[in-house]
A and B are shown apart, each in its own frame.
Chain A
Amino acid sequence: MTARIVFLLMIGVMMFTATTQSAIKFTQIQSPNSPLIAFRIILRAGSINDPKGKEGLNALTAMLVANGGTKDLTYSQVVEKLYPWAASFDVQTDQEITTFTGEIHRDHLHDFYKLFSDLLLHPRFDEADFKRVKDDNLNYLQNGLRSTNDEGLGKEALNAFMFEGHPYGTTDVGTVQGITSITLDDVKKYYAETYAQSNLWFGIAGGYPSSLIGEIQNDFAVLPVGQHTDITLPQPKAIKDMEVMVVEKPARAYAVSMGYPIPVTRSDKSYYALLVANSYFGEHRTFNGILMNHLRGDRGLNYGDYSYIEKFTGGLGGAPFPNPNTPLRQQFFSIWLRPVQPENTHFAIRNALWELKNLVDKGLTREDFENTRKFLINYSKLWVSTMSRRLGYQMDSEFYGTDYYIDAIVKELNSLTLDDVNSAIKKYLHPSDIKITVVVDEGKGKQFLDDLTNNTPSPITYDAAKPQNILDQDKLIQIFPLAVNASKSVVVNAKELFEK
């Protein structure tokens, strides 16, 4: 079967990117016939801008701006105004940037714009709103991430472990002690220093009038011009062998995340070679990947097994596509194993790394390469099926200094060779020098780590008869050696994480 390459949202669209007479950068995708208008307003600051001891200040400030009032309206009055329009003004906090998002029907464009520009320009900073938002962020860490979401916990623990001592090493909402120490005055000061024209990047798409841009420039001129400066990032600490963090909390199955920083982002040519390799190995929530087919499909170990060559958020629940606007200047490779039965977790870790070793040793065949390349060229078109997503991906492309990402995938993949892909795998991917986090049940951490460290065999049994080739592989996998670096490996309680 042949499928033509699909072109979505490419009709009736005019795209502009400009830094105009104000210091605010604009990205525009104008589509006059569209009744919808999407906004993505990026603040070029994120959790990496948090002052030491005030981890969470960037997120708390942004959340208070988006979920507070204006000088004229209380928070409840803002909600009341937005309600009949079915509009919202939300914020996505992240490490490098913070993105305010809104979507509105053109019937209410002007009123909506006035309202959210007031939120951004004249935040109320009410003490009661501050307390509410601060409580929410503390609850997210103390009663959410640490206790009720083992998959998210494993991923955030891996991030903290991989980027220990690095600006990326806290969650984007901060730490418990950091948030606790933040005062409303801290928020006001951070807002005054950071919400400057040079830090703002306005994305707008849909059926808006051209005059809106001038209006925005005019209104936002009340902000100081400022001077955008990128925070200097150190190199992440080198990883030696396999460094393991076992996290204890009540858990009936064990979530696993593993990975390491890689010196490749969308700005690099090698990224596109790795994009193909990764899709073949672990495309998120599809049955294309080696990991998914061998761990879930062949062995029924869990619900899903995927890999990534950059930060990936979203794509759970509904459509499996990644959220835009989480760009990083330093990226990482990771593998995510969804919770595995305790007795099979050691085996599952070995199985994933055994598959990674095979990928590095053998690479892709020509057929694998051609099929995966073709898949990605078509599939990536689906990532931008709404105007807001298209806008977000366009802005990410500008962050990385590339052509529009979806176009870049087509261009780069069409010129890619099998050798490019297999060389990139050899250069950047490896089953050693990796950090692993495993969320295990209370009191089970030490034994689990000992078994990993001692390379205790981890045989697996099945309810069903298995083909001989699977059983033969299992014999190799159950004793696949893992070079655990005991001096760099720890057992911690979940309540110790994200504390400071």
Chain B
Amino acid sequence: MSAQPATRTKVQLPHWLHGSVQTGFLLVLTLIVLAPLLIMFVATFQDGNDVIRRGLSLDIDRSSLSLDNYVMLFTDSGPYFRWFANSILLTVVQVAGTLLVSSFVAYGFAVYEFKGKTALFIAVLLLMAVPFEIMMLPLYVLVNDVGLADSYSVIVLPFLAAAVTIFYFRQYFLGIPKDLLEAGRMDGATEFGIFFKIVVPVAKPAFAAMAILNGMIIWNNFLWPLLVLRSESKFTLPIGLNTLLTPHENNYELLIIGSLFSLLPVLVLFLLFQRFFVAGMTAGALKG
């Protein structure tokens, strides 16, 4: 690559000034990006109906601010914490299941040669580009026909072998030296033994990244559970919060404070494991 010689005199800002202009710019952007959450946070101290009527606003009557909503959240929020517990349970179970099954499949693709491998792997690639929303209609009908509506298993099962996760693990496993696996075979391990004893420990970072990616997706999963779940006691957080959007005799306070509160576990985990979040959420860009 040959760069064009500079043809005009460049106006060079002093280095320190250039730096602080950039820093200032980034700080302003940071503020803008965080503003919606900050204003929503302020709204948790306000009357819910008022917020719905007036919108999120900078024009706040300071005398109306109170901790009432927080008291309500912890003493009188109906099924809110039930939903919270459901979400946590479902996320943990589904993440564990997805990691296990998907890494299993990925290992199959990464280390073995078998008939139909190319075709099946192309299927993985294609599935990464088919929106689930298209499947939801026939699946929904199917689920109802077999009487499985309102059960967690139909939320979990279709996504255990997840295309993106399989793809990521496969890329990771491809990087594991074959000698390591051969050594395992010499020691008399079964193919599954090799996977659990040798491959899994080596691939810990990949598991962490995929746990985060899937955890995020599942924690926020909405459409499919919305269709499948029937009983309020089984609702997850997003489904439950959505029910609070209904007009009349609603609980807009809970909608607002509950929405913000639902971010908390994710935020805490993010602050603790930022590195894995970044690796997980950007997993798709792993070089092929």
Do chains A and B stick together as partners?
Answer: no
